[in-house]
Amino acid sequence: MLESGMDRFSFPCSLACAAVLASFNSGAVARELPASGVIVQLRSAAVPLAAEPAASASVGLRDNPQARREQALAAWQRQHALRTERLSQVAVEAGVPARLLGSAGAALRLDFALPLQGTALEAAMRRLRLHPDVASVIPNVRWQRAQALTVPNDPLFAQQWHLQAPTTFASALNLPAAWALNTGVANAPVVAVVDGGVRYDHPDLAGRLLPGYDFVSEVDSANDGNGRDADASDPGDWVTRVEVMATDSPYEDCDVSDSSWHGTGIAGQIAAATGNSVGVAGVSWGARVLPVRVAGKCGALLSDLLDGVRWAAGLDVVGAPPNPNPAKVINLSYGGSGPCDNAYQQTVNDVTAAGALVVVAAGNGAGPITRPADCAGVLTVGAVRGDGAKTSYASYGPNVALAVPGGSGSIGADAGLLTTLNAGRTVSAAHTYEALAGTSFAAPLVAGTAALMLSVQPGLTPADLTRLLKASVRPHTAQPNLPMCRAASLSQAVCNCTVTTCGAGLLDAQLALAAVTTVVLPTPAPTVPTVPTAPTTPVADSGGGGHTGWAWGLGLWAWLAALALSRGRPASRAKGCLPARC
């Protein structure tokens, strides 16, 4: 069975979110460090009032503002000494070693012998709170100042509207503010692009790409003269009319199309070289992209795709060398037309257990999501227009985690998502940039944001990333002239998103990073190697989507009608990509 590319058609805020927003509005948020100690407020009854000193005759004669200030200061110091002495006793009784006691406004400062964080900090604070003389305890942390916005010098960055602050376009990702917190250069994670390969020679991907692997097993589909090998570069995936019409052609069930350079566009969105005065900016400035080629002419054979996803996470695949660079995030913009089955689900389970987050495109079928978007444990990404409404092509459903810009798919609404590409209609030609649209290009925006989060907290698990991304979203927008999206509908075009159709809300990279800075992870327990499960034999099914350049003359609904007819074909090959494919 074959899977096809999810596109390229050149076509309420939670409590956690509210807390993050409030911290930004206060102008004080950045990265919170381990606590050097705590600030303790004692109950008033815990400390007796300091006795007044006996007044001398000379003192009694002094009754002026300066004398009153001196007397008040002396009284405060006496009372502070008593409170400090009592706090010292409380610390001993609570079993919290103190290195230093001091003032903290109207409260008291207690410094630990060593800075604490995580469960150790919580335990110390709990012991103090349980003492009957203590009214309140909060961490004494050091805050970093809020920094100015970070704007890269890439000349085409101004055209990447989807990365800007959400002013002109309500669904924009707010990345300049996020980059002010973290650009992703430190602790750079590996992000796998399981796709059709990449153009390693694109100048805006220089230094961003790791050696990957080619899992395309059928020579006809591979288009590079052989089957599986260590070369993950994209030779082109064009299909000509002559190839389709030839007798006994291996491409008889394919769509005629030019080369898509699909994986190259996705890699550029995640990690195009940024700040190099060339081309476009990537979401994560330091992420290392691991190209895993699973698709060629007509799409991806399901067995190749599942092997590629496993290998991307560092799991063993028979016949392939070990992956020296296991990915923490896997972008998968290919999918089929049926529901998630055992083969897909077991693969997702295995790679998630290995510590990799699987980010998948919702699909471009304008109907309920299908595999792998409906599998448990994946992070499914929906696509919205610049104004935040669901795009005409995006699939939807309760398993969608959140929504990001995908390009409108129609002239005049927004300009699509500008990224790295190639001008070759068949084989590689000039390296270029093109504005693309589709859920294929929504998914890598989330994968890149997850990479930024891992740069701050490398220990985040797939569940952590999913939870934080969903908790830090902005609310969906509502356009007065559009209907509400309905999860039960079999098909729907542009509509106002709901949490049951487009996920928790709109991704905001700044809020996502701010949420990460407040997370204190426990010390991980030693891991026990798991025994790989036996592979499940995939069941044949028809492919689900594709990718091609802007082709506005092919109307969306006409194309979807053609897609519905194409799904009646035999399942021997995946389909090529046309506008608004999936």
Q: Mean per-residue pLDDT for 551-572?
A: 34
**Residue 529 predicted with pLDDT over 60:** no
Q: CA–CA separation, 64 vs 55, rounded Å?
A: 15
- Provide the terminal-to-terminal Cα distance of the chain, rounded to the nearest Å: 17
Verify cis geometry, omega within 30 degrees of 0, for the bond prior to 372: yes
Q: What span, in angstroms and rounded, lies between the C-alpha atoms of 561 and 564?
A: 5
Provide mean pLDDT across the span 297-306.
93
pLDDT at 52 over 60: yes
C-alpha 331: how far from its chain's center?
10
Residues 409 and 582: beta-carbon distance below 8 Å: no
Could you tell me which residue, 528 or 246, shows the higher pLDDT?
246
CB contact at 8 A, 366 and 229: no
Rg (CA), the chain: 29
**498: confidence class by pLDDT, cuts 50, 70, 90:** very high
pLDDT at 432 over 50: yes
The residue extents of the domains of the chain are 35-140, 148-235+245-476+497-517+538-566
Using CA atoms, how far apart are residues 93 and 506, in angstroms rounded to an integer? 49
- pTM over cut 0.75: no
Verify whether residue 195 is a known catalytic residue: yes
CA distance 336 to 302: 9
Judge whether 182 and 457 are in contact, CB under 8 Å: no
Active-site residue, selected from the candidate residues 7, 195, 224, 304? 195
| 185-206 residue pLDDT tens | 989 999 999 999 999 999 999 9
One-letter amino acid at 134 equals V
Average pLDDT over residues 525-544: 40
Beta pairing, strands 98-104 & 107-116: antiparallel
pLDDT at site 349: 96
> Shortest CA distance to 506 belongs to which of 363, 406, 384, 391?
384
In the DSSP assignment, the letter for residue 352 is: H
Burial pattern 509-547, b for ≥16 Cβ within 10 A else e, equals bbbbbbbbbebeeeeeeeeeeeeeeebeebeebbbbbbb
β-pairing verdict for 357-361 and 329-332: parallel
Of 547, 578, 563, 543, the C-alpha closest to 6 is 547
| Mean pLDDT lowest among 135-149, 264-278, 411-425 | 135-149
**What is the pairing mode between strands 357-361 and 379-384?**
parallel
Architecture of domain 148-235+245-476+497-517+538-566 in this structure: 3-Layer(aba) Sandwich (3.40)
For the ranges 67-71, 78-82, 165-169, 559-563, the maximum mean pLDDT occurs at: 165-169
Q: What angle do CA 548, 407, 403 make, to 5 degrees?
A: 120
- Is 440 assigned a catalytic role? yes
Find the mean pLDDT for residues 429-457: 96
Mean of pLDDT over the chain? 83
Long-range contacts of 320-323 (CB under 8 A, 24+ apart): 320/213, 320/215, 320/228, 321/213, 321/230, 323/213, 323/290
Instruction: Evaluate whether 309 touches 293 at the Cβ level (below 8 Å).
Output: no
**Helix boundaries (H) for 156-240:** 175-181, 219-222
Active-site annotation holder among 23, 408, 440, 566? 440
